[in-house]
Structure 1
Amino acid sequence: MKIAIEVQRIFRPHKHGMDVVAQELLKRLPMEEDNIDYHVMVKRDSDKCISTTQNRIVHMLRKAPYFIWEQYLLPKACTKIKADILHCTANTAPLNTNLPLILTLHDVIFLEQNNFKSHASWYQRLGNVYRKLLVGRIAKKAVKVITVSAFQKRLIVEKLGIPAEKVEVIHNGVDPHFFDKLSTETLNRTLKRYGVQRGYVFFMANTDPRKNTEGVLNAYAKLLKLNAFTPKLLMKGISAAHLHKLLKQEDLMWLKGYIDLVDYIPQADLPAIYQGASMLWFPSFSEGFGLPIIEAMASGTPVVTSSVSCMPEIAGDAALLADPHKPNEIATAAYQILNLPLLAYKLSKAGQRRAAAFSWDATTRKTVAIYHEIEKAI
């Protein structure tokens, strides 16, 4: 059997959540004796993170705008290799294919209106429009829809009118290297490269409104007033210009000296960044899964996350939950971690136990089982 797996953007140097998920799946394919040839469909770019091996053939398609690549170049390439099944891994897929289609739909966040606030980027707006136009039609056409949390399954069934039996929940995993405790020397050397000192509050920021960056800034301002020795806030993923704009908008310019910014962090450095933190803040309004939650937990870092969306499902009882609309709750949870060492220790240990329940090997096995299920049906 030939399965074409669309992973359009995983060769880009700066990978994000869906790219990481696809890469972790491909690293583990083929599994032993699954009798499948995997044809990996990827757009040409500089980071050749997956290579051709026996039963896993990489096809580098030429660069083109996202919708042209997906709607024209991808189905053409699938026809050329005579694929039996197409698995699209990042929410959208070609409409003009007759192949049995498996769609990984990480979330239906694009249907939420808060993505269209005035400060959402044009790229985010365009992506949301594209998904709104296509995803409902594609999900109905797919023979199986994979999603990453039970919370998102409920939304997909409700909002897209997809039969529940057609939607399979397969949780993401966490790479074993996050569990490895780094030596003091390695940790300090990595943090020095980023110009930060241990103990910071870590927040993976974003220009997307759902990430709640404004709420984090207000929560951090409250924490500074609550706690005399509050560590710095380390924010990844936004520019100095965007931070300046948000601080001005929230009347929090006085916070500027308390915040450090870092750009993209490669996967190899993430364990050190988590282990160097006093805690991770992940108070998003909406997520498909929330990969940083279990990555931080595996690293032994206490987590403060949201009491809404999929976050309680993923975090279980191993994190402090806060209403993302209430900066006071985020600040109070952080204050407890900073001032109650026993609580911080318990969260660290409980987090590692919780993270151990999420395995990329299990994710891959469940995905391959779906391939075989569809094979029997065609």
Structure 2
Amino acid sequence: MHTFPAVMIGGPPHSGKSVLVYRLSQILRAAQVAHYVLRACPDGEGDWSQEASADRVRLLRQKGQFSSAFVEQVCRDIARRHLPLLVDVGGKPTLEQEQILRACTHAVLLAATPEGLAEWRERAERCGLMIIAELQSVLRGVDQITEETPVLRGVISGLERHQTPDGVMVQKLAERLRHLLEFPPEELRERLFQQAPTELIVDLERMAHSAGIERWQPADLPSILAETPAAALSIYGRGPNWLYAALALHAAPQPVFLFDPRLGWVQPPVVESGDQPSTALVWHPTITPAFTWLEATPVQPHLDYDEVQQVVAPILDPQRGVILSGKLPLWLLVGLALTYRRHPWVAVVQAQQYDCGIVVLSQDEHYQVGDAVSIG
């Protein structure tokens, strides 16, 4: 949908792009501006990289290489966007990788030096992007605005991982993005909900608001599931992976659809279990006395939804509960959870809380939905 902007956040390596993108997204979410952050880099660092511990980030970070297939997939995702995008790009794009920039509409440039900004300015102009801001990034100091229009220019400080930069430049840039990205929420919902494949739509934002929930907690699961019909449903909005998995398992065997800002409404792939698991993922089953912990890691940093519609997962002991983890797209994680739904119980791990799995389905009186099961 080309009515939605796609704002590229670009600059040399180690200039603080990922930290800035995360903070801007936080502010936009608080202002209820619908958007999606697309990590257009094989490193694939999501929100977990800012929220998880430093040790966990080092374990989860998956350094990958740009490839023609990756570039093509990202360009396709940008072109068919269903929401406004913030696009976090790599720091050293080749001419081929600049196709990703050309697929965007606007640019925010970030660099530690004037030379770095000049290089990226030339690149953004060559790719036909409208530059919103040019920011010099410093670790220590204070924000300074030297020019507001037509391009926001100045110094931005404190873009360190696990910090919350909140200076005047961050706020001014977030305000400018809000005016660019904001669409009437009811109009946006109506447009998207008209395309939903099912009559029943679970709107996570409205559900949280009506329940007085500011941040989803595992303890919310029993009441949420009790209020949700066990019927075919479509799920819309931001929420932890265990919430999506619990709703999908609650609806099973009725179909469930997820809204993906890159793909639109998608159904989790049907994942079979077999003796020859798919080689598109590396499977790490760990058997404990109480459960099997299955960690799945994609071989490539970017999984194409159209290419993983016939995934085969390992056969696990049906008498044990299952804990699922791995840096997976939400639609694939939900598909995996559905695969093992006949086990005594199923739990999923969120990267930010990697020492435990959250129970999302249970037929065992010793495990209740919402319980945290330690895997340490």
Q: Report the TM-score when normalising by structure 1.
A: 0.30
In terms of fraction of residues, the more strand-rich structure is 2
Q: Report the TM-score when normalising by structure 2.
A: 0.30
In terms of fraction of residues, the more helix-rich structure is 1
